[in-house]
């Protein structure tokens, strides 16, 4: 377990170096977080980063997503803070899920200030529609196949339970 944590932290540092950004929050999401990972499950690291302030003053748009596949079991996806804030304003459920992750690889004081404000932006209708759509889509894609992995039932069930929790 220590080896993978070191690999994740090294990957975060390398992203900071390669893209000239500062990762302010990095977490695990997916089956490992939800407690139903399999022996072959990968690590789904998600993160929020900030660029140097001069970058935000540019008139031309810049990429606001970073993706890095380190190896077969580790992939990292990150959003620029500005993108994350726009999604938060729209009550995107991913922002709320990331903020509530219990597996945290990096958390800075900047994120601490932001994270306390995130729950104020939750919109019941938006969250409910997201998870209902997710449940329907997962049911359509995962449960109607010739062979269904047990894990795929959990994906559908998780979305349904999220709808119930929101209601």
Cα–Cα distance measured from residue 160 to residue 163, given in angstroms and rounded to the nearest whole number: 5
Supply the pLDDT for residue 28.
96
Q: Is the pLDDT of residue 147 over 90?
A: no
User: Which region holds residue 93: left if phi is over 0, alpha if psi is between -120 and 50, else beta?
Assistant: alpha
User: Pick from 71, 75, 119: which is nearest to 93 by CA?
Assistant: 119
pTM of the complete model:
0.90
3-state DSSP call for residue 78?
Answer: strand
Supply the pLDDT for residue 152.
77
- Spatial contact of 142 and 166, defined as CB atoms under 8 Å apart: no
């Amino acid at each position: 377990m220590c080896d993978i944590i070191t690999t994740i932290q090294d990957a975060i540092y390398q992203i900071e170096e390669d893209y000239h950004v500062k990762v302010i929050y990095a977490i695990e999401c997916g089956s490992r977080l939800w407690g139903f990972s399999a022996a072959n499950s990968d690590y789904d690291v998600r993160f929020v980063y900030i660029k140097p302030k001069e970058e935000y003053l540019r008139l031309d748009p810049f990429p606001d997503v970073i993706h890095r596949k380190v190896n077969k079991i580790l992939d990292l996806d990150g959003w620029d803070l500005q993108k994350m804030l726009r999604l938060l304003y729209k009550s995107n459920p991913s922002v709320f899920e990331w903020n509530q992750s219990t597996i945290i690889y990096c958390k800075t004081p900047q994120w601490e200030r932001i994270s306390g404000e995130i729950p104020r932006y939750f919109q019941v209708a938006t969250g409910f529609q997201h998870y209902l759509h997710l449940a329907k889509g997962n049911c359509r894609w995962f449960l109607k196949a010739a062979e269904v992995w047990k894990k795929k039932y959990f994906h559908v069930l998780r979305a349904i339970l999220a709808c119930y929790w929101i209601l």
